[in-house]
Chain A
């Protein structure tokens, strides 16, 4: 290679790196908050979540050449994040016996019918669900939590969630519905507590009168 050729090749390498960095900045970096939220849902710990975000972005940067331009960068980052998490924990995936999605969906409807009958639904209609849901979501176990976070909080389709989690769509669907059912169980407990409290107050007030 002549000095001129060598210089021109170095210039073109620099140009291609510049393009890579600009693309990475434009396409991957804006999702850092979303990746953090997902990382937190996996680690349930702020410091581990931060480490996982760093690891995710480092891996993403190093394998940027494998990213298909125009495809869903958030989904790609979530997949890297999930893999980095699994590798860091060296977790063996624990299999959980799951009902199929249709059965879970019916169980949800049945549960809500009970809530309508016992007044829980009315109690829930009067409270802000978010604080209770925040706690319930923190307590929700894997593999249900990842499914709920990806679909319900991060707006991923069943198909995208299946790809990120590396499981069939039917598994995502049943994990998701089971997770939603467990969250609703916790909401019902929360409403019951709130309901008993207000019933107690009303009773005391009545006896005062």
Chain B
């Protein structure tokens, strides 16, 4: 772990996550929402974005954006005949299950 010079905020996400500034919070916003940070880093970003009036709207928007994107999951379902085609092909390859 490298030591951080005094008066200079740490920008190394892999070192100790104390408090973060706006720049660091925005660099890590998506990792935060994707749950790709350590608990300590998650806590630091959460504390910042929930108390910073400049960063909070970015978080709110990012959450809404991701939620809408995720909901597209329900919009494309496979055509009903596809399963029958797959099963037929599997049977000719030796599959003998109940489906």
Interface residues of A (CB under 8 A from B): 17-18, 21-22, 24-25, 29, 32-33, 36-37, 40, 46, 50, 53-54, 57-58, 61-62, 101-102, 105-106, 108-109, 112-113, 115-116, 121, 124, 128-130, 133-134, 137, 148, 151-155, 157-158, 173, 176-177, 180, 183-184, 187
- The CA-CA distance from A205 to B27 in the complex, in Å, is 44
Checking A58, A124, A133, A158 against B93 with a beta-carbon cut-off of 8 angstroms, the contacting residue is A58
Instruction: Judge whether B14 is part of the interface by a CB distance below 8 angstroms.
Output: no
Partner of A133, one of B69, B86, B95, B97: B69
A116 to B79, CA, bound (A): 41
Q: Is B96 in contact with A18, judged by CB distance below 8 angstroms? A: yes
Chain B positions within 8 Å of A180 at CB level: 30, 65
* Whole-angstrom distance between the Cβ of B86 and the nearest chain A Cβ: 5
Binding site for A on B (CB under 8 A): 23, 26-31, 34, 36, 55, 57-58, 61-62, 64-66, 68-73, 75-79, 82-83, 85-86, 89-90, 93-99
**7 pairs across A/B with beta carbons < 8 Å?**
A32-B86, A36-B76, A36-B77, A50-B78, A57-B86, A152-B66, A177-B30
**Interface residues of A: mostly helix, strand, loop or mixed?**
helix
A-B pairs with beta carbons under 8 A, tally = 120
Nearest-Cβ distance from residue A158 to partner chain B, whole angstroms: 5
What's the Cα separation between A128 and B62 when bound, in Å?
Answer: 15
Using known A-B contacts A29-B99, A57-B86, A134-B75, determine if residue A105 contacts B27 with beta carbons closer than 8 Å. Answer: yes
A106, B23: Cβ atoms under 8 Å?
yes
CB closest chain-B residue, reference A136? B69
Q: Which of A153, A157, A187 contacts B72 (CB 8 A)?
A: A153
* Cβ A116 vs Cβ B57 within 8 A: yes
Question: Which among B34, B70, B99 is the interface contact of A25 at CB below 8 angstroms?
Answer: B99
Q: A130 and B75: CB pair below 8 A? A: yes
**Complex A-B, nearest 3 residue pairs according to Cβ-Cβ distance, in ascending order:** A36-B78, A129-B68, A109-B26
Cα of A52 to Cα of B81 in the assembled complex, Å: 14
